[in-house]
């Protein structure tokens, strides 16, 4: 388990500076939510931590290790994609095993991890199915299972609920909170949905225009918004 530190990080796409000298420390074990409107830089920030976007300037530390030039697969973080990105021709088990086999992990250890993840997510019954034989909620669970078996220092979620219907969204929210409670791994969760942020986060990072407006507990950002923007976006009286 490890702190994740963004230290004076900047990022441009072409000539456009989208992240400018941003610093943030995510504490080990916390559930942190990046909250902001569309285009506020949430995904870019998460993708920089995952290694899917380069960092132009500044440092990224994961567990004290400088990671800004480390390959995505070597960063010890696991991204859960919104579209699940499951391999359709593989079973659930094969989907979960694939990444581990690729890095040469021993089969005993792979089996232990898959069984553990299946137990945590209560999906032992699903291991031999293919993605086409699963519901949306079950597919998402497999995507999370595939992250769990990596035993990462942090899970990274980019709007994981936005493809789900309202009922499933609520249920998955509860399940994710329970998962965090059970395994205690750092979670960084991106959303534009204030309710998700308020109900799930230990701390919320409010982003606007690719800048941090405020970092605080749900209570703090709600009762003491640091700016007019935060007040308006969180929906509390200014
Ligand atoms: P969010 O996830 O909060 O909606 P993004 O991180 O996707 O925001 O985008 C932040 C800003 O960076 C936006 O202005 C967006 O247009 C821009 N941007 C994101 N990705 C790229 C890219 N690959 N090329 C150019 N501009 C991009
Ligand atoms: Mg986004």
**First and final C-alpha spacing in the chain:** 38
Confidence (pTM)? 0.92
Are 217 and 198 in contact by the 8 Å Cβ rule? The answer is: no
Report how far Cα 201 is from the mean position of its chain's Cα atoms: 12
pLDDT tens digits, one per residue of 61-113: 999 999 999 999 889 999 987 777 899 999 999 999 998 888 889 999 999 99
Q: Please work out whether the CB of residue 44 comes within 6 Å of at least one atom of ligand 1.
A: yes
Residue 14, by phi and psi: left (phi above 0), alpha (psi -120 to 50) or beta?
left
What residue owns the CA closest to ligand 1's atom 21?
13
Cα(174) to ligand 1 centroid in Å equals 29
Pocket test for ligand 1, best of 18, 79, 157, 210 (most atoms within 8 A of CB): 18
Which ligand is closest to the CA of 54, given by its number? Answer: 1
Report how far Cα 187 is from the mean position of its chain's Cα atoms: 6
ipTM above 0.95, yes or no: yes
Listed in order, strand segments (DSSP E) in the chain are: 4-13, 16-26, 31-35, 57-62, 65-66, 77-80, 154-158, 186-191, 203-208, 211-216
- Tokens found for residue 128: 């031999």
pLDDT tens digits, one per residue of 172-221: 888 899 999 989 999 999 999 999 999 999 999 999 998 999 999 999 99
């Amino acid at each position: 388990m490890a702190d994740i530190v963004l230290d004076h990080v900047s990022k441009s796409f072409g000539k456009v500076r989208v992240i400018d000298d941003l610093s943030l420390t995510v504490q080990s074990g916390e559930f942190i939510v990046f909250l902001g409107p569309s285009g506020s830089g949430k995904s870019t920030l998460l993708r920089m931590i995952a290694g899917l976007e380069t960092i132009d300037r500044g440092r990224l530390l994961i567990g004290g290790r400088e990671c800004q030039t480390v390959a995505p697969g070597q960063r010890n973080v696991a991204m859960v994609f919104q579209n699940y990105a499951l391999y359709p021709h593989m079973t659930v088990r094969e989907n979960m095993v694939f990444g581990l086999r690729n890095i040469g992990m021993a089969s005993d250890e792979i089996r232990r991890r898959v069984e553990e993840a299946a137990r945590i997510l209560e999906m032992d019954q699903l291991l031999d199915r293919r993605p086409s034989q699963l519901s949306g909620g079950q597919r998402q669970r497999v995507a999370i299972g595939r992250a769990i078996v990596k035993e990462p220092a942090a899970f990274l979620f980019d709007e994981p609920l936005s493809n789900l219907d309202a009922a499933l969204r609520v249920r998955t929210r509860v399940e994710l909170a329970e998962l965090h409670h059970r395994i205690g791994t750092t979670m960084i969760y991106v959303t534009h949905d204030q309710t998700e942020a308020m109900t799930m986060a230990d701390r919320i990072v409010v982003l606007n225009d690719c800048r941090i407006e405020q970092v605080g507990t749900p209570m703090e950002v709600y009762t003491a918004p640091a700016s007019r923007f935060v007040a308006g976006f969180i929906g509390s009286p200014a």
